[in-house]
Chains A and B, each alone.
Chain A
Amino acid sequence: MTNRLSRPNTNSRSSRAAVLFRAVGCALLGALLLAGTGCGGGRSADTELVVTGSTTILPIAEIAGEMYHGLHPDQKVLVSGLGSSAGIETVSSGSSDIGTSSRDLKPAEEDLGLFDTPIAYDAIAVIVNPDNPVRELTSEQVRAIFSGEIENWSELGGNDKDIGLVNRDEASGTREAFHKIVMGDHPFDRTAAVLPGTGQVRSVVSNARGAIGYISLGFVNDEVKVVAVDGVVPTKETVIAGEYPLQRLLHFYTVGEPTGLARDYIHFVLSDAVQQSVVRDAGFLPVSREEN
């Protein structure tokens, strides 16, 4: 499958930007042409690692890549964010070494022979105003709220108060994940307020008593109250145990088990140095080390 044209990397002095540009170009070209062969720019699997895919994972992969380069100056990790689907496509076509994805493989992608290494958990917390007496919702209730079927908190055991729906904009990855996990085929209520940022959602929910919204668990603070979904409060433990329903895994995909530089890099991403700092700082939860 990996029929790469690997010319030795002669120009170690060439600027990093140029190399990055070429690698991104390779990845793009590969994604577009579905080419089984790599492109003729030439790179060595021993010194350069190409990581493409999810924009959600981009900050983790990039910072981890820079840290890795700092530890191993002769090895470079070239990271780009083209979207999860493009990441899976490029790694299976051989134009990148690792494909990153914030979603699981689709049925059509399962026979590509990809090896899955989960690198972090992302949980989506449903948040309400701290004055709201409602502590728990079922995922059906969350779906009914966000599709506009339930419009008053009294239907959910709360006060007689209109529900103020706060949604994210369509470019948001959190919205996409929430839609996929919770809403399924049901469309969002179109009369909901649409806010362009996690911080805005949190700030509005924190001072409007009837409001409900959703944000990545890493952004929750004391100003808002997290609602238990299906009886499970999202915490580090419940998310890692897989009990909390609104969660997703962030994946690194490789063709077969990772070898060489890819293996070293993935080991580094799974090490505490990255998991406990970079992954947490990006608002995600570390995977337990045993999974490696």
Chain B
Amino acid sequence: MPSLPSMSSENNSLRLVSRATHLKEIALKNLFLVCAFVAVAGVLLIFGFVGFRGWPAFAEVGPWSFLAGTEWSPTDGVYGILPLIWGTVVVMLGALVIGTPLAVGTAVFLSEIATPRVRGIVRPAVELLAGIPSVIYGFFGLIILRPIIANFTDGLGFGAVTAWFILAIMIVPTIATLSEDALRSIPPGIREASYAMGATTWQTIYKVLVPAAKIGIIDAIILGMGRAIGETMAVLMVVGNAPVFPESIAAPIATLTTQIVMDMPYAAGMHRTALFGMAIVLFLASMGLVALVRLISRFQTSIEAGR
């Protein structure tokens, strides 16, 4: 036990516990270290594996014709993923446009308007949304929403617009709970000052509170973007999976994640490599979003420090 004397000399209070307790402490400390290491190792292993399997897609197809190629036709040996990137972006942006007002509105209601009693009902309900398996959302979209969209658009009902509504509901919990945290972390004095100057509730919300929580809400929206980009099962069931630039928002479309799921069971050779290449693109996109959130948080911290 070489660490024992040094530990106890550093921290005199440790002398007071028995040797067995001390050993237990060390064991637990290492246990938690291993837990943390598993997460880090998992990320590194997955990134290494996906990178190793996917880099030939960039090397052999060529980064430009892979990322900017407009035709995805693996049976003809053509691997251009631009239609899939386009599909991913279209589906994600539409879901954000519908979902963000819904989620921020929910957050404002929960934080500023709802009585504790109402809040006690609404908040668990919103959190429950996050716990519903995505295949249930997809099933709901396929059976209930798709025929409705089909009636309105006179088509099959598969397409970006169906995915927007489903995804919008799915990202509400992410954005709403994080935005609510941001709103609630505003010091009560700011609210009181606004009301004291004669501002109404609405004026206080949109002139004072939302601007004050702006950075936190932007973080929430970015994390919602990540959820929208990565969502697979629910989207797969309602987009129609045609790897093309769609003619309308109600025409079949495919995203990176849905195409990977559709093709993985039978893909071989270069096709499979291209799927891993698509996984690299997804990985980099979500890493970029997380980095963006951290950057914005740091920006905020530096502003507050400068105040």
Indicate if B150 sits at the interface (CB-CB under 8 A). yes
Cβ of A104 < 8 Å from any Cβ of B?
Answer: no
Mask: chain B, 237-269; 1 = CB below 8 Å from A; 0 = not: 000111110110001101000000011011000
Beta-carbon contacts of A44-78 to B below 8 Å, as 1s and 0s? 00000000000000000000000000000000000
Chain B nearest CB from A158 CB (Å) reads 14
Q: How many residues of B contact A (CB 8 A)?
A: 26
Expressed in whole angstroms, the Cα–Cα distance for A40 and B157 within the complex equals 57
Q: Is A245 an interface residue (CB 8 A)?
A: no
Q: Does A196 contact B (CB under 8 A)?
A: yes
A191 touches B150 (CB 8 A): no
The one of A171, A191, A196, A210 that contacts B244, using a Cβ cutoff of 8 Å: A191
A/B pair count, beta carbons within 8 Å? 57
B147 at interface (Cβ–Cβ under 8 A)? Answer: yes
- B79 lies within 8 A of chain A by Cβ: no
Residues 119-147 of A at the B interface (beta carbon under 8 Å): none
Partner of A208, one of B147, B246, B252: B147
Contact between A191 and B155, CB atoms less than 8 A apart: no
Give min CB distance, B111 to chain A, whole Å. 42
Q: A204 an interface residue at 8 Å Cβ cutoff?
A: yes
Q: Are A191 and B246 in contact (CB under 8 A)?
A: yes
Given contacts A192-B252, A194-B241, contact A161 B154 (CB under 8 A): yes
* A194 CB to nearest chain B CB (Å): 4
Residue from A170, A190, A196, A208 in contact with B156 in the complex, judged by beta carbons closer than 8 Å: A208
Beta-carbon nearest neighbor of A167 in chain B: B242
The answer to whether residues A194 and B156 also contact, given A169-B262, A207-B147 and a CB cut-off of 8 A, is: no
Cross-chain contact B150 with A208 (CB below 8 angstroms): yes
Bound-complex Cα distance A161 to B150 (A): 13
Which one, B147, B241, B243, B254, contacts A195 given CB within 8 A?
B241
| Interfacial chain B residues near A170, Cβ < 8 Å | 74-75, 263, 266
Q: Is the CB of A166 within 8 A of B156?
A: yes
Which among B147, B157, B158, B244 is the interface contact of A190 at CB below 8 angstroms? Answer: B244
| Residues of A close to B240: CB separation below 8 A | 193-195
A211: interface (CB < 8 Å): yes
Place the interface of chain A in its size category. 20 to 34
Question: What chain A residues lie within 8 Å of B203 (beta carbons)?
Answer: none
Chain B residues lying within 8 Å of A195, measured Cβ to Cβ, are 240-241
B-contacting residues, A153-174, CB 8 Å: 161-162, 164, 166, 169-171
- Let me know if B73 is at the binding interface, CB within 8 A: yes
Chain B residues near A210 (CB-CB < 8 A): 154-156
- Known: A191-B244, A194-B242, A210-B155; 15 extra A-B contacts, CB below 8 A, are A162-B154, A170-B74, A170-B263, A170-B266, A191-B252, A192-B242, A193-B156, A193-B158, A193-B240, A193-B252, A194-B240, A204-B146, A207-B150, A208-B147, A208-B155
Q: List 16 A-B contacts (CB under 8 A).
A: A162-B154, A162-B155, A164-B155, A164-B156, A191-B244, A191-B252, A192-B252, A193-B242, A193-B252, A194-B241, A195-B240, A196-B262, A204-B156, A208-B155, A210-B155, A210-B156
Give chain A's interface residues, CB within 8 Å of chain B: 161-162, 164, 166, 169-171, 190-196, 200, 204, 207-208, 210-211
